[in-house]
């Protein structure tokens, strides 16, 4: 028998017997029994406590106070999970009862007086980004899903052949403030473009691209975002203690 044939036979033996054994070993896990369940539960509770203590310390002792030191004004009960990435001389004004989950980016033009204003009771999700040349304003009790991008500027002029975009900054025609009114809910990974006003209590579906004004009490979705439903406030309920009028 040739050496190659012997090697082939040996490899076949490994494939037939050793490979299933190794695979079974790697994919075998310990399972808690009635006698050991308390031990595994104690390990889980311990790692949960350590993790949450670390997150609290990073949030309460580092991220939130560091971020607030950069803000021009701020209210009470603000919680920031990670120190935001901030670039440019943007003026940041915060209300109260704000929760910033994860890390957000705030970039502004080096010219003018860009303002980022956030009202009371606002939630901003992880990896939300804001590009500000003039003003972005978020009203009270609004919420914004993770990965959403909001910009009040094109960032650069569009027709400048032969030049890189960083040498052709946006002009006045390329900038318009973004206003997100009270109670607006914006889904994950949306894009809000310059000059947009989203009316109060509106809902923007996930991954929508909003490039024009949205009336209040609207549900919008798509690219470009279109109104698919108009909402009406709940009618007041009759008092059950009062007899019905015939």
pLDDT by residue (tens digit) across 25-74? 777 788 889 899 999 999 999 999 999 999 999 999 999 999 999 999 99
Bridge-based pairing state of the strands 218-221 and 226-230: antiparallel
Mean pLDDT, the chain, integer = 87
Q: What is the pLDDT of residues 123-146, one digit of tens each?
A: 999 999 999 999 999 999 999 999
- Domain spans in the chain, listed from the N-terminal domain onward: 38-230
Query: What is the rounded CA–CA span in Å between residue 158 and residue 194?
Result: 15
Query: What is the rounded CA–CA span in Å between residue 125 and residue 143?
Result: 8
| Residue 212 backbone phi and psi in degrees, to 5 | -145, 165
CATH number, span 38-230 = 2.160.10.10
What's the pTM value of the predicted model, to 2 decimals? 0.79
> Hey, which residues are catalytic here?
156
Which of the pair, 208 or 155, is modelled with greater confidence?
208
CB atoms within 10 A of CB 4: 8
């Amino acid at each position: 028998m040739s050496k190659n044939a012997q090697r082939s036979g040996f490899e076949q033996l490994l494939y037939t017997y050793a490979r299933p054994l190794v695979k079974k070993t790697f994919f075998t896990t310990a399972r808690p029994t009635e006698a050991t369940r308390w031990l595994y539960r104690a390990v889980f509770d311990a790692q949960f406590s350590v993790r949450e203590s670390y997150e609290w310390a990073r949030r309460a002792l580092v991220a939130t106070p560091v971020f607030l030191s950069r803000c021009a004004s701020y209210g009470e009960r603000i919680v920031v999970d990670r120190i935001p990435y901030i670039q440019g001389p943007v003026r940041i004004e915060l209300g109260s009862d704000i929760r910033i989950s994860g890390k957000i980016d705030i970039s502004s033009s080096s010219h003018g007086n860009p303002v980022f204003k956030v009202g009371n009771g606002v939630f901003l999700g992880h990896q939300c980004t804001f590009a500000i040349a003039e003003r972005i304003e978020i009203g009270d009790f609004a919420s914004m899903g993770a990965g959403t991008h909001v910009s009040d500027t094109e960032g650069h002029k569009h027709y400048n052949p032969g030049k890189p975009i960083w040498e052709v900054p946006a002009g006045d025609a390329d900038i318009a403030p973004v206003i997100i009114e009270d109670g607006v809910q914006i889904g994950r990974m949306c894009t809000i473009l310059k000059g947009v006003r989203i009316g109060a209590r509106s809902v923007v579906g996930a991954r929508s691209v909003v490039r024009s004004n949205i009336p209040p009490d609207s549900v919008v979705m798509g690219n470009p975002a279109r109104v698919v439903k108009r909402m009406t406030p709940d009618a007041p309920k009759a008092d059950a203690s009062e007899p019905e009028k015939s």
